């Protein structure tokens, strides 16, 4: 399930002014300046919709409003848009159009992981292994390819009567940041979530040869759309937007990845320069583990510097302490960080900064200055 952290089993800151004009500027429950003064660095939670994506969504709403199952012109246009998007999304993950099933989002498709732990957890009745490709809190990239190879070895050794173990990965956080190829990874299923890579809030499921090589069954029954896998008239406009977002990823991934890495490394260098190595702890740095190029999870050490308290005091930075779906846990530290061996008091102070395509070094300078001022203020209060 997308955005569920744990063991296996947006506003762009340039748009902040428009947002606060409509909704007010008290989202963090304290007085903050509105307009472009607020700098958004929570792109792992959600991203703004790319202007090119907005364009194709608008065109589809205007010209392709017909039922894709019909034979009149607006319906035929809708059908063509859906097929083109299906093909584009499939190519983004190394598949073919028939492998893509559209969904309402990532959650509809059902921690740091060690390969040996996964293999040890397999039982004679195990039929599915599901692991996120990259953790949304730490950015750690899971060894999916190695896990898939080991699971396939287990499948070869199983008795004929035992179920074949299928492999699913939730790539919500990875797509648009690193290369994701279903066949290179060796997975049977991939969850795709549009609003994580500048697309609309719609999702898709990659299935390797659905219904033939790989089983897939509908959750609902009805009109027979999506080859009987998901009934209901297709959401043409959002599908068009998802297809355009996928096209942009396929065309520009190397550029995106290089930019993310440059900004994240600059951020880490700036944090160390301003706070010193004794006051900054990077919670994603583990020997032998790769992390997403855009994600920095760190703690500013010291009493009274809990992550939520720091963020609620910052005047410029918009970020989070971890997964949005765990926002009701108060100052309790992330169980993901604790399971990675981060001490309790360090994990309590954790902040997650995730940068986007428009994040600049100047933004980083402003954000780190804001953090420095905030920490000085809180330490005076303490």
CA dihedral sign of residues 210, 211, 213, 216:
positive
Least Cα distance to 260 among 346, 134, 145 occurs for: 134
| 300 shares a domain with 233 | no
What was the pLDDT predicted at 16?
37
Q: Is position 20 within any domain?
A: yes
Lowest mean pLDDT among 59-73, 74-88, 146-160, 329-343: 329-343
Report the SS3 class of residue 316: coil
Report the SS3 class of residue 304: coil
| 204 shares a domain with 82 | yes
How large is the C-alpha radius of gyration of the chain? 22
Q: d(Cα 301, Cα 185) in Å, to the nearest integer?
A: 38
| 202 shares a domain with 70 | yes
Q: Is position 8 within any domain?
A: no
For residues 96 and 90, is the Cβ–Cβ distance under 8 A?
A: yes
Q: Is position 298 within any domain?
A: yes
| 29 shares a domain with 167 | no
Q: Is position 1 within any domain?
A: no
| CATH code: domain of residue 335 | 3.90.1150.10
Q: d(Cα 308, Cα 284) in Å, to the nearest integer?
A: 19
For residues 233 and 225, is the Cβ–Cβ distance under 8 A?
A: yes
Pairing mode, strands 203-207 and 280-282: unpaired
DSSP annotation of 209 reads S
Instruction: Dump pLDDT digits (tens) for 56-85.
Output: 999 999 999 888 888 888 889 999 999 999
For residues 256 and 177, is the Cβ–Cβ distance under 8 A?
A: yes
Number of domains forming the structure of the chain: 2
Above 90 in pLDDT, residue 262?
yes
Q: d(Cα 91, Cα 325) in Å, to the nearest integer?
A: 30
Q: What percent of the chain has pLDDT over 90?
A: 69
**296 catalytic residue (yes or no):** no
Lowest mean pLDDT among 193-202, 279-288, 297-306, 329-338: 329-338
Terminal CA-to-CA distance of the chain, rounded, Å?
41
Least Cα distance to 354 among 309, 330, 323 occurs for: 323
| 96 shares a domain with 82 | yes
What was the pLDDT predicted at 21?
33
| 198 shares a domain with 173 | yes
Q: Is position 199 within any domain?
A: yes
| 351 shares a domain with 278 | yes
Domain boundary residue, one of 214, 234, 249: 249
pTM: 0.85
Instruction: Dump pLDDT digits (tens) for 197-230.
Output: 999 999 999 999 988 889 887 776 776 667 767 6
| 211 shares a domain with 78 | yes
| 294 shares a domain with 372 | yes
| CATH code: domain of residue 111 | 3.40.640.10
Domain span at 32: 13-50+253-381
What was the pLDDT predicted at 34?
46
For residues 307 and 293, is the Cβ–Cβ distance under 8 A?
A: no
Q: Is position 7 within any domain?
A: no
Residue 290 corresponds to which tokens in the numbers above?
A: 């790769």
Q: d(Cα 225, Cα 231) in Å, to the nearest integer?
A: 5
Least Cα distance to 368 among 293, 274, 261 occurs for: 274
| 131 shares a domain with 146 | yes
Domain boundary residue, one of 195, 219, 249: 249
- Which residues, at least 6 apart from 270, have a Cβ–Cβ distance to it below 8 Å? 364, 365, 368
E strands, 254-322, in order: 280-282, 295-300, 317-318
E strands, the chain, in order: 39-40, 100-103, 128-132, 166-170, 189-193, 203-207, 280-282, 295-300, 317-318, 350-354
| 89 shares a domain with 28 | no
Domain boundary residue, one of 194, 225, 249: 249
Q: Is position 4 within any domain?
A: no
Helices (H), 93-222: 115-121, 144-157, 182-185
Select which of 265, 314, 325, 340 is catalytic: 325
For residues 241 and 202, is the Cβ–Cβ distance under 8 A?
A: yes
For residues 286 and 112, is the Cβ–Cβ distance under 8 A?
A: yes
Q: d(Cα 322, Cα 137) in Å, to the nearest integer?
A: 5
Q: Is position 3 within any domain?
A: no
Above 70 in pLDDT, residue 11?
no
For residues 260 and 253, is the Cβ–Cβ distance under 8 A?
A: no
| 258 shares a domain with 228 | no
Q: d(Cα 200, Cα 243) in Å, to the nearest integer?
A: 10
């Amino acid at each position: 399930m997308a955005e569920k952290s744990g063991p296996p089993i947006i506003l762009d800151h340039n748009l902040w002014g428009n947002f606060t004009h409509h909704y007010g500027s008290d989202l963090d429950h304290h007085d903050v300046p509105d307009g472009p003064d607020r700098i958004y660095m929570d792109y792992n939670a959600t991203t703004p919709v790319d202007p090119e994506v907005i364009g194709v969504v608008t065109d589809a709403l205007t010209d392709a409003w017909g039922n894709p199952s019909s034979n009149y012109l607006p319906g035929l246009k809708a059908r063509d848009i859906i097929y083109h998007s299906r093909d584009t999304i499939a190519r983004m993950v190394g598949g073919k159009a028939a492998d893509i099933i559209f969904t309402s989002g990532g959650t509809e498709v059902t921690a740091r992981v060690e390969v040996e732990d996964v293999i040890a957890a397999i039982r004679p009745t195990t039929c599915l292994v599901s692991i996120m490709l990259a953790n949304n809190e730490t950015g750690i990239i899971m060894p999916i390819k190695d896990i898939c190879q080991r699971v396939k070895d287990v499948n070869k050794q199983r008795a004929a009567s035992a179920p074949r173990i299928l492999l699913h990965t939730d790539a919500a956080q990875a797509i648009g940041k690193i290369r994701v190829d279903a066949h290179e990874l060796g997975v049977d299923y991939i969850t795709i979530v549009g609003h994580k890579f500048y697309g609309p809030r719609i999702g898709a499921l990659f299935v390797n040869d659905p219904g033939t090589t790989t089983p897939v069954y509908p959750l609902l029954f009805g009109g027979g759309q999506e080859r009987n896998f998901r009934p209901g008239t297709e959401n043409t406009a959002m599908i068009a937007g998802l297809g355009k977002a996928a096209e942009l990823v396929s065309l520009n991934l190397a550029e995106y990845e290089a930019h993310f890495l440059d900004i994240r490394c600059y951020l880490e260098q700036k944090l160390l320069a301003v706070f010193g190595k004794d006051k900054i702890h990077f919670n994603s740095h583990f020997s032998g583990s790769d992390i997403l190029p855009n994600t920095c999870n760190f703690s500013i050490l010291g009493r009274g510097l809990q992550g939520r308290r720091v963020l609620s005091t910052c005047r410029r930075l918009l970020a989070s302490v971890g997964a949005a779906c765990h926002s009701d846990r108060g100052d309790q530290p992330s169980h993901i960080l604790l399971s990675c061996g981060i001490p309790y008091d360090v994990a309590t102070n954790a902040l997650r900064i995730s940068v986007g395509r428009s994040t600049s070094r100047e933004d980083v300078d402003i954000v780190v200055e804001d953090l420095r001022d905030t920490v000085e203020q809180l330490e005076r209060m303490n």
